Amino acid sequence: MAQPRSLPTENNKTHRHGRNGGRTRAKKLIIQSDASGFSEIGETAELRKPPIYKARALHIPYGSHRGTQGRTQANKDGQGAVSSPATEARPLGAVIRAIARRIRPPEKQTDGLPLGSQAMFIDAVRCASVSGFSINTLLSVRWSSLYHHDNANPLFAQSAVERIAYLVELLRKWIGARCKGGFMYLWVRETTSELGEHWHIAFHLPHGKRKAVASYIADLLGEPLDHQSRTSAQGKTEGEFACSVWRSWHLAKDIHPERSGYYHAAYLGKGEPSERLFRGNLIPNTRKPVRGRAFGGRERSARYDAAQGQITGTAALKKRFDIARPLKQAMKARQSGDLRAIGP
């Protein structure tokens, strides 16, 4: 009796699968026959290896990439799933782009400013003062109030990050045309349970331009200027010289000009934690220059120690604060000892 022959072995065939060209190794099967003629499939170690790449499945409705002219005979006869006319009219590329827009990487979130931020802000305003363009004006904007009184404002068609970038660019052009030193600024985003998310930007304003900038900001934000100043009982802040009719934004001057914007920078840096973790214990954050007495500081007020909420940035950047590029360059030059780069 003739011996049963072993069927040929299929070894290590490589195929391409998926849209991105991922490689998976084909299963390695050994088919053998015993004396009774019964075939068995043997499994090798190659079968247990996971594929190198798994293509992401796109949840595309059946037939959504076909046009109205491309229906299959099965769908015409009532067999299989029939997509709606609105879905059928969309080409495959449009469906894939719509799905890709929904598949986004997670956005970055922060609970406060990083350690050393307040000292960095103070260093930035000192560089601005040395260059002859001290930070002397503070603009505060409450987005929730602005949206409540005008939900058709075109600013809210953008995300918070895009909205701020848009306003900073317009302010840069307006102030840059009136100041030879350009637009010197630093801004932070904050959020509280009472005010929601709000935005502070401290910048240099040339002398005699307060009324003009207040009128320009009223046009930018779409909320008119209140020509009657409010009182302290109504919430007037220190140095306030302009406010909108619904209190969604206001402008304030530096009441300590001899300090060259020091307290503006300290106020913007209040979101830095006043205590830090050291060897499992919370200790005062000595890297924060301005903090309350409860954390080893000199300030009687606790406003420099309150948490400023969670802020959502983008997938690439946190976008909780920013400093003007000329100030960043001046800070870098100061650290390197090149004082000529930051001179007036």
Q: For 270-326, what is each residue's pLDDT tens digit? A: 999 999 999 999 999 999 999 999 999 999 888 899 889 999 998 888 999 999 999
User: CA nearest 83: which of 58, 70, 64?
Assistant: 64
User: Which tokens in the block code for residue 131?
Assistant: 């260059």
- pLDDT tens digits for range 302-315: 889 988 999 999 88
Contacts of 6 (CB under 8 A, 6+ apart): 31, 32, 33
User: Which tokens in the block code for residue 53?
Assistant: 């790449």
CA gyration radius, the chain:
32
User: Which tokens in the block code for residue 56?
Assistant: 């992401």
Contacts of 310 (CB under 8 A, 6+ apart): 109, 110, 111, 191
User: Which tokens in the block code for residue 292?
Assistant: 């309350």
- pLDDT tens digits for range 223-260: 999 988 888 888 889 999 999 999 999 999 998 888 88
pLDDT value for 235: 85
pLDDT value for 23: 47
Q: Tell me which residues of the chain have a pLDDT lower than 50.
A: 8-39, 63-76, 78, 80-82, 87
How many contiguous H segments (helices) and E segments (strands) does the chain have?
9, 14
